[in-house]
Amino acid sequence: MARENTQLMAILEREFQRIRELEQNPALGRTYREMAEELGILPSTLSHYRAGNRFPSRANGQEMAGLLRSDKRGGSDEARQALVEELLAARPVDDQVHAQDWLRSIGREGHLLLVEFRDFPSARSSNPNRQVAREMAKEAGRAVAKGLAYALLNPFASESQSNTDLIPLKNYLNSLDEAIRETYKRILGEAYRQVISDFPNSDQLEQELKKVKKLLRCYRWAGPSPSSGYLDSCPGIGYKLFYHVEGLETPDLWHWLSTPNGEMLIRKTQNEAELNAVESRFYPILEYFDKYTRFPTTDQMKGWANGDLRESLWGEVEAITSKDDLALIKKAKAGEL
């Protein structure tokens, strides 16, 4: 089965972002149809490229590079040739991809990402590798600004639900919760920065900022928690699970891995039973999103669950106050993030 050519899509998205900033046209190539038109190819052809079923020929690569790096768009013969070689070399990776490239490839409307953080987010400010932390926050923020619906999930019950006496475990999970909330704020700030860059001095700016805020959510496990405490909500510590789906496509499960070659996402081999089990853990976030294409509040999840005679497993976290949100927007506008 062919794998999505995330490398190719990341290259194209990078080029379109450069042109959006150069031409001050934030709407350029925001959908696959518009992107295909700009590239001089059919939408179905781009779809095949993205799916990894077909690859650009040298002639296709030269035509696309000529449009993306034309002289009017700040290109040159050398720049066009370099892009051609880059486009031709891009191939699907069956089981792993650089995290930054992956985030660029899914930064688009119609993509949904749920991440269970059973380990500390790489984008947290306390990450010893500050450069990686900045890059990951920036790429995640850009992806949200471009339409990715992204929910950060803390799969461990709150301390009030637990009676565990394991102090090291409590300390770890409390620190993890703080890191997830802080990462949410960093990503939101980067999303605001991107929106402000795309819509400078625009009447649409306030509306776009509100739209982005709705695309990023933070949740914490709120389901049944028997006597053994935290570990009933999530039996695993030390890794992160990424659930990604585009539209009506089959979802993918990925694991995060820090390697000497950078932050990588490893595609997880899955079967239908395992995927169904994972999706059931997200109840009713997925069900609500499937119907309304937006994330639910705690009350909306409870209402949905009551209708099913079930119990909601998650509660929304207020990771940022209204006052802090306004301050974050102010910093983003002033370029102080």
Q: Are residues 325 and 229 in the same domain?
A: yes
Q: What is the DSSP letter of 270?
A: -
Domain of 48, in residue numbers: 6-89
- Using CB atoms within 10 Å of the CB of residue 9, give its burial: 0 to 12 exposed, 13 to 18 middle, 19+ buried: buried
In a domain, 1, yes or no: no
Q: Looking at 62, 89, 116, which one is the last position of a domain?
A: 89
CB count in 10 Å sphere of residue 86: 16
65, two tokens: 């590079």
In terms of domains, do 109 and 205 share one? yes
Per-residue pLDDT reduced to its tens digit, 19-47: 999 999 988 888 888 999 999 999 999 98
Q: What is the predicted pLDDT for the residue at 61? A: 92
Separation of alpha carbons 157 and 132, rounded Å: 28
Q: Looking at 89, 124, 153, which one is the last position of a domain?
A: 89
| Co-location of 141 and 66 in the same domain | no
pLDDT for residue 163 is more than 60: no
* Total-model pTM: 0.73
* Same domain assignment for residues 76 and 190: no
Q: Are 187 and 212 in contact (CB under 8 A)?
A: no
CA 139/CA 310 separation, integer angstroms: 37
Beta strands in 36-98 (DSSP E): 96-98
**Structural domains of the chain, count:** 2
Residues 170, 290, single domain; the answer is yes
Quick one: 84 and 108 in the same domain?
no
How many other C-beta atoms can be found within 10 angstroms of the C-beta atom of residue 43? Answer: 15
pLDDT at 94: 53
The residue ranking higher by pLDDT, 213 or 158, is: 213
The pLDDT tens digits of the residues spanning 43-102 come to 999 988 888 878 898 889 999 999 999 999 999 999 999 999 889 888 765 567 788 888
151, 293: one domain: yes
Which pLDDT tens digit goes with each residue over 249-293?
778 888 888 777 778 888 887 778 888 888 998 999 999 999 999
Question: Quick check: 234 pLDDT over 70?
Answer: no
Q: Do residue 48 and residue 115 come from a single domain? A: no
Mean pLDDT score of the chain: 87
Q: Confidence band (pLDDT; 50, 70, 90) for 224?
A: low
Residues 204, 280 share a domain:
yes
103 and 82, same structural domain?
no
User: Which stretches of 93-237 are assigned E, i.e. beta strand?
Assistant: 96-98, 111-117, 149-154, 216-221
Same domain, 52 and 188: no
- Give the least confident one: 111-115, 226-230, 257-261: 226-230
Residues 109 and 72 in one domain: no
299-312 pLDDT, tens digit each: 999 999 988 888 88
